[in-house]
């Protein structure tokens, strides 16, 4: 495959994952803080892909690979938080309340986000949105690396 085709596939993959996230949100699945964290690198990858194509700069594919790797890593981390394999940030999970005074606990409850990162809002066959992001984004890393190594034609 040509460099341009690979960049278009990688750019389109991130755009499709972002679109999927927005569709789920429109269907009533409100994103948590970590869901938003996973979106930012995809937006960066779309921008990087556009710049790579517009400026015809092959080295930008390495930045695209980095963006895809970051969102895949966040997806793995979020998946572990959802499955109680490790604790997530106290700002969006049920943890972090031990040792707090009543006033501190009340303040934390009143300022807590509406959507928790350690709850699974949607899954099919045991696969969550964070799992899907981790897997598909890892695939995009491979496509970006193929683009970075391809001849620019």
Structure tokens at 68: 């895809």
Please count the structural domains in the chain: 1
Provide the CA 63 distance to its chain's centre, in angstroms: 16
Closest CA to 7 of 75, 73, 68: 68
Structure tokens at 110: 């009143």
How do residues 108-151 score in pLDDT, each as one tens digit? 667 655 678 888 888 889 999 999 999 999 999 999 999 999 98
120-128 long-range contacts, Cβ below 8 Å, gap at least 24?
Answer: 120/82, 121/29, 121/30, 122/24, 122/29, 128/79, 128/82
Structural domain that includes position 99: 3-149
Q: What distance in Å separates the CA atoms of residue 148 and residue 130, rounded to the nearest whole number?
A: 26
Helices (H), the chain: 3-26, 33-55, 60-82, 102-110, 129-149
How do residues 28-86 score in pLDDT, each as one tens digit? 988 999 999 999 999 999 999 999 999 999 999 999 999 999 999 999 999 999 998 99
CB atoms within 10 A of CB 91: 13
Element (H, E) at 128: strand 127-128
């Amino acid at each position: 495959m040509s460099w341009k085709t690979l960049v278009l596939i990688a750019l389109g993959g991130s755009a499709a994952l972002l679109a999927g996230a927005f569709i789920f949100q429109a269907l009533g699945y409100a994103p948590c803080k970590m869901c938003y964290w996973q979106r930012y690198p995809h937006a960066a990858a779309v921008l990087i892909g556009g710049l790579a194509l517009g400026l015809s700069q092959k080295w930008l594919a390495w930045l695209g690979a980095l963006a895809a790797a970051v969102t895949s890593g966040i997806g793995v981390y979020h998946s572990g938080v959802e499955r109680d394999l490790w604790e997530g940030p106290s700002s969006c999970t049920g943890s972090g309340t031990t040792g707090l005074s009543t006033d501190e606990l009340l303040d934390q409850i009143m300022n807590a986000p509406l959507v928790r990162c350690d709850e699974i809002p949607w899954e099919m066959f045991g696969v969550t949105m964070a799992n899907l992001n981790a897997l598909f984004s890892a695939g995009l890393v491979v496509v970006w690396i193929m683009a970075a190594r391809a001849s620019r034609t």
